[in-house]
Amino acid sequence: MASDKRLVLGVAGFGTVGTGLTSILEENRDWIIQRTGREIVVKTVLVRDVNKKRAVKLPEGAELTDDPARLVNDPEIDVLVELMGGIEAPKALILQALNAGKHVVTANKALLAEDGFELFRAAQQNGAGLYYEASVCGGIPIVQTLRESLAGNQMTSLVGILNGTANYILSEMTTNGLDFDTALSQAQELGFAEADPTLDIEGFDAAHKLCLLIRLAFGRDYPFSMLPVQGISGVDRMDIEFAREFGYRLKLLGEVRNVDGRLEAGVFPMLVHHTYLIARVGGAYNAVRMEGNAVGPVFLHGLGAGATPTGSAVLSDIMAVARGCAPNNTGFVEQVPAPADIMPPEEAEACYYFRVMVRDQPGVLRDLAGAMARQDISIAQAVQKGQDPGGVPIVFMTHEAKARNVAAALEDLKGAGLLLAEPVHYRIL
């Protein structure tokens, strides 16, 4: 039913996502009214510097402010849209808005992953919605899918490319033979990577998103501080080429599995066989494969960042408010989930890829295999690349092995003096 009452927004932050949101609101104005029965307008935009010249004009009728209180205390503003980034300032602003009875839409995965429970409690106490579709995987509707569409399923596993910057870098190293530093520089020039790319390339951005997905998929809290995380800054083009020879692609993946009631999770570079859909996801795209006990496997794929893809996700939450949907903030009755029963990372089992640099002399492969066998690790394939008395790489794949056994085998190899350089090892999906 159409409503004469407009939905009024206060937007905190007018960067990439904020400007993307306002451009969609303007371009799709009539379509949004057809979908929701209401006009959605921006009244106030919070920025650091109101005098800064901006390439994108403000929405018609909107005004700039550098005073956060104007977004919270204005009774005409129905929804706070938080697109600032950071943790402390956004948390304070969101809490004030929720306590004032306003709905909140945010893209702030770091805040929700590290310090979000107080916000969900405040939302419940005030009967307000705390929406966060844009916090995970840009334009992919993963939050809505887990919270609503697949809510009747008990999820068994989820694995995904959760960071577009890392995926772009690895794709360029794979497809165009670039080294890591060159691929990173290219990503920065194209706007896919920040000037300081640490969160992306070291896996922390993907880890924040994985924490949120674990809560949505399993209804359990896997603390960010306990999540094993390994980034891609140490990836060598040599290993990408060797992986291709074995039929694999190297991807930075976030993964969680239910193993006999315990959750095994982490963010790691992994080898993925080229026949898997997720191995074929290139560029700055994201993808998530999840499996439920009723629906089976589901695969979602789309742009993981950018002005309009992320703005589209923000708008989907705003439109849910405009329709008067009852808040379903976490997808569960309890807003603070019970702690997960976490499988210790050292107990996790996987097949592994290894590359070791050794002297090209008789008996070396025997000694390598012996060190692995002593830790109950079985080698499935082994290849020596080249012939050079100064040192050659030996690449081998293992059958399933526990992480602690892999770590112990590597220590044995180092202690035996077999290795000429630090060994490289990656999980295989």
Q: Which residues are annotated as a binding site for L-homoserine?
A: 194
Cα separation of 420 and 414, whole Å? 9
Cα separation of 355 and 343, whole Å? 27
Tell me, what amino acid is at 423? P
37, 127, 224, 272 from 409: Cα distances, Å? 64, 54, 28, 23
Which tokens sit at 100?
């004032």
Those residues whose C-beta lies under 8 Å from the C-beta of residue 187, and which sit 6 or more positions away, are 165, 168, 169, 172, 193, 197
CB 103 within 8 A of CB 124: no
Which parts are annotated binding residues for NADP(+)? 12-19
Tallying the residues shown for the chain, one arrives at 429
Of the candidates 201, 227, 218, which has an alpha carbon nearest to the alpha carbon of residue 114? 227
Which residue reads 């995904």 in tokens? 160
Cα separation of 278 and 415, whole Å? 38
CA angle centred on 132, ends 22 and 225, rounded to 5°? 130
CA angle centred on 359, ends 355 and 362, rounded to 5°? 105
CB 322 within 8 A of CB 40: yes
CB 43 within 8 A of CB 10: yes
Query: What is the 3-state secondary structure of 323-340?
Result: CCCCCCCCCCCCCCCEEC
Cα separation of 81 and 239, whole Å? 43
27, 37, 76 from 4: Cα distances, Å? 20, 8, 14
Active-site position among 43, 91, 102, 209 = 209
Those residues whose C-beta lies under 8 Å from the C-beta of residue 219, and which sit 6 or more positions away, are 331, 332, 334, 337, 338
Which residue reads 């002399």 in tokens? 361
402 part of the active site: no
Cα separation of 365 and 115, whole Å? 49
Catalytic residue numbers read 209
